[in-house]
Amino acid sequence: MTNLDNLTDVEMDVLKELGSIGTGHAATSLSQLLNKDVYFSVPEVKVGEIKNLSSEFIGEVVAGVIIALQDLEQKKSGYLYIMFPEKSAKKIAGDLFGMDELDEEMYASTIMEVGNILSSSFCDASADFMNIILLPSPPSFAVDVPTAVIDSVVSQMAKNSNHIILFETALSSDADIEIYLALLPESCLLDDMMKILGQL
């Protein structure tokens, strides 16, 4: 099993690479959806203790979408956590509908759909480049501070480990849109990634 406590630099790079490929695809989809240029940052990989998790996220309220990832044998592979700061979420939903005000139900379902599209392209990328097939679950949606949204997922992962790998990247566009993407892989996904990228 890949040991989370002391990943080598090479292993960290492997994670970063997957992050780049995944978010690259997600950024392309978002760009097509919004019909705007979308930029993304080089992902940061963090291996942290769960107790320090709250310091890793932005401090403001976000619209959070959580998608569980499974492999073909229905083993849990991890979670994708997509955070839209409230302003960005409103802007995206408004732009897509060409309206300033949306009712709450419309707003929630729009953001979930954007989350869906982003996660699907993320999964596509991992299948194309690494042959790791990830099936995204339907999205779950909440509006709250980032830790409050993610803590139920963390509680699932925490049964096995006190550490968590987080890789984070930000998507942004001209129009003041910011999106933060985090992947929380379970150890089996991590093992697969290391195996496959080790063969390259």
Partner 1 sequence: MSSDILFVSNGSGKAIFLTGRDVLVKSFCSLSDTCSSRDSCRSCSLINAAKNHLTGTKSESNVKELDGELSAGIGEYKIGRNVLLKGMGLGSCIGVILSDVSTGICGIAHVLLPGASEKGETKYAETAIEKMFEDMVKMGARKSRITAKFAGGAQVFKHMNLDMLKIGDRNAISVEETLVKKNIPILAKDVGGDVGRNVIFNPADGSMIVKYTTKGDVLWL
Between 28 and 70, name the residue whose CB sits nearer to partner 1: 70
Tell the smallest beta-carbon distance from residue 147 to partner 1 (Å). Answer: 3
* Residue 42: how many other CB atoms lie within 10 Å: 10
For residues 44 and 151, which CB has a smaller minimum distance to partner 1 in the complex?
151
Report how far residue 130's alpha carbon sits from residue 128's, in angstroms, rounded to the nearest whole number.
6
Instruction: Kindly state the tokens that stand for 189.
Output: 């996904």
Shorter beta-carbon distance to partner 1: residue 31 or 161: 161
Are the CB atoms for 129 and 25 separated by under 8 Å? no
Query: What is the per-residue DSSP string for 29-56?
Result: HHHHHHTS-EEEPPPEEEEEEGGGGGGG
DSSP 103: -
**Minimum CB–partner distance for residue 47 and partner 1 (Å):** 15
Please state the closest distance from residue 131 (CB atom) to partner 1, in A.
26
Question: What's the closest the beta carbon of residue 183 comes to partner 1, in angstroms?
Answer: 16
Smallest separation, CB 16 to partner 1 (Å) = 25
Looking at the Cβ atoms of 173 and 187, the one nearer to partner 1 is 187
In the complex with partner 1, the residue whose CB is nearer, 6 or 51, is: 51
Q: Under the rule (CB under 8 A), what is the footprint of partner 1?
A: 49-54, 61, 66, 68, 108-109, 112, 137-156, 158-159, 162
Rounded to whole angstroms, the Cα distance separating 153 from 38 reads 28
The whole-angstrom separation of Cα 124 and Cα 178 is 22
